[in-house]
Structure 1
Amino acid sequence: MSTALTAPATALVTGASSGLGTEFASQLAARGHDLVLVARSGDRLQELAAELSSAHGVKTHVVVQDLAQPDAGRKVARELADRSLQIDLLVNNAGFGTAGRFEEIEPERDHDMLMVNVVALVDLTHELVPGMVERGKGAVLNVGSTAGYQPSPYLTVYSASKTFVLNFSLALRQEYRGRGVRVTAVCPGPVETKFFQVVGTRNAAVAGSFTTVEPVVRTALKALDRDRAYVTPGFANAITAHLNPRRPRNLVAWVGERICRKALRPE
């Protein structure tokens, strides 16, 4: 039996200006959800908000915020309170990656990545979940990665951040089972977005097959509807992720280093 949120539930999508975030916003609008779109790119968000409102007749709101900044989650929450906006579905989609030898990656870049991938995600969840608990309904959908299933040398900090997202989601889900709040993690493999442009190389897609945003988002929302703990979109990606050994941990890291050397090769 589906436990899908019903309209006019309001969904907040981070990283909504491109890629998976834009597709989440589009598919949620098609379902009849009002939207709060969060990203740094104000012009693009305003354009997207107008498009979705016109196409689907939903209310759209824009919050311009760089999630790498300190207290970004609290700033977003204050903006929501000022506008009297109640969030029923939080989609923690914003994130980016780095690849290469650890000592050659700019520390500031890894720091900003952790602020977006981990700190802002947790802060927004802290800000919005208590209201869901009080109302007895709500949902959180966190975007992880197949890189989070195991240590991934040369994607070291990125993969660790996505391991956090997965374990955080699984633990949080157990806390809120039976309390009306669902938590699901979606862990896609390589997706055709600007992600690899930001990383700097498509060779950072060390395993799994590329897919597009539409089936990833469709699978993620279906998993949330069905109250699944986590999902890996794409049969090949799911098989690749779950065939990886889980023990002993040192062996997993050894295997990962050999697989992930691909990320060091020029395109």
Structure 2
Amino acid sequence: MPTALITGPASGIGAAFARRLAADGFSLVLVSRDERRLSESADQLKLRYGVATEVLPADLGTEEGLARVESRVADGVDLLVNNAGFGHPGRFTEVPVQDETRMLKVHCEAVLRLTLAALPGMRERDRGAIVNVASVAAFFTHGTYSASKAWVVNFSESAANEVGNPRIKIMALCPGFVRTEFHQRASMDTTGIPDFLWLKADDVVREAMRDLALGKRVSVPDLRYKAIVALGKYVPRSVQSRVSASLGR
């Protein structure tokens, strides 16, 4: 039975990945700093899908937590989903620098280190997959969040190119606005976001898994967001910034 390790699986896109992979017959290793919710999620998945679930409480924003997960990944996983992440409600100039560097540790350093930890075993088995959850924000300019997600996209494409093995797939997943707890946890105002821009987490994961099977290195779920990203390439950065600011962080 293949094993998938998912960071941030207690809600939103991470939880949708956990449901989908459990339904596909994967054993799960679930990583989150919220041990109570993690255990509840593991119990529900085990009861519903009958799969083995391993709980790994860890805070990827700390060296101790990241090292613990890094060690588990190095023990061997068939699919790694780097999904953990968060946002800040204010402009980056208004956010304490320690909070910004914590974001970079979770969004960038953790993705780098866990990817590197997973690759030796995947090379040895000559198969495996890594999904690094980024965001449509990666293609636009709006603070440290979008900058960190742009790094995830570039890194994922670069890593896939350097590995150079079609049986080891590395993909950046770039969803738009998704109905999750993400914005509420970050105290973000979402009232300016039109209803038609919201996606469902299960739909995002379904399209992501399809794109992964097709060998895509960047997945942008939903035609609406594919069009937004395509059009964004022709829009001046100054205009992009004004539009994203009007939609909220």
Structure 2 length normalisation: TM-score? 0.92
Among candidates 186, 189, 201, match of residue 173 of structure 2: 186
Question: Post-superposition shift, 1:50?
Answer: 1.5
Q: State how 1:51-62 maps to structure 2 within 5 Å.
A: 51-62=44-55
- Per-residue CA deviations over 1:209-260 (Å, capped at 9, x if unaligned) read 01111100111111111111111111111111111126xxxx7331222112
Does residue 13 (structure 1) correspond to residue 3 (structure 2)? The answer is: no
Asked if structure 2 preserves the Cα contact closer than 8 Å seen for 1:13 and 1:92, the reply is: yes
Does residue 88 (structure 1) correspond to residue 78 (structure 2)? The answer is: yes
Cα 1:165–1:204 change in 2 (3 A) is farther
Report the secondary structure of 1:36's partner residue.
strand
Among candidates 231, 236, 241, match of residue 243 of structure 1: 231
Query: d(CA) in 1 for partners of 2:135 and 2:211?
Result: 15
Does residue 161 (structure 1) correspond to residue 110 (structure 2)? The answer is: no
- Per-residue CA deviations over 1:71-98 (Å, capped at 9, x if unaligned) read 53321133467xxx52010000111112
Query: d(CA) in 1 for partners of 2:248 and 2:18?
Result: 34
Query: d(CA) in 2 for partners of 1:90 and 1:80?
Result: 8
Structure 1 length normalisation: TM-score? 0.86
Cα 1:129–1:72 change in 2 (3 A) is farther
Q: Alpha carbon RMSD of aligned pairs, Å? A: 2.1
Asked if structure 2 preserves the Cα contact closer than 8 Å seen for 1:140 and 1:182, the reply is: yes
Query: d(CA) in 1 for partners of 2:73 and 2:54?
Result: 10
- Per-residue CA deviations over 1:155-176 (Å, capped at 9, x if unaligned) read x100000000100111111112
Matched to 2:45, the amino acid is: L
Does residue 120 (structure 1) correspond to residue 110 (structure 2)? The answer is: yes
- Per-residue CA deviations over 1:116-151 (Å, capped at 9, x if unaligned) read 111111111111111111221111011110000122
What's the counterpart of residue 3 of structure 1? none
What's the counterpart of residue 30 of structure 2? 37
What's the counterpart of residue 5 of structure 1? none
Asked if structure 2 preserves the Cα contact closer than 8 Å seen for 1:136 and 1:179, the reply is: no
Identify which range, 181-190 or 44-53, moves more after superposition: 44-53
Structure 2 portions without partners, runs of 5+: none
Segments of 4+ moved more than 3 angstroms: 202-208
Asked if structure 1 preserves the Cα contact closer than 8 Å seen for 2:71 and 2:117, the reply is: no
Question: Post-superposition shift, 1:205?
Answer: 7.3
Report the secondary structure of 1:96's partner residue.
coil
Matched to 1:70, the amino acid is: E
Matched to 2:67, the amino acid is: R
Asked if structure 2 preserves the Cα contact closer than 8 Å seen for 1:96 and 1:113, the reply is: yes
Query: d(CA) in 1 for partners of 2:52 and 2:90?
Result: 42
Percentage of pairs with the same residue: 37
Cα 1:47–1:203 change in 2 (3 A) is closer
Query: d(CA) in 1 for partners of 2:191 and 2:96?
Result: 17
Matched to 1:174, the amino acid is: N
Structure 1 portions without partners, runs of 5+: 1-7
What's the counterpart of residue 171 of structure 1? 158
What's the counterpart of residue 23 of structure 1? 16
Asked if structure 2 preserves the Cα contact closer than 8 Å seen for 1:100 and 1:263, the reply is: no
What's the counterpart of residue 232 of structure 1? 220
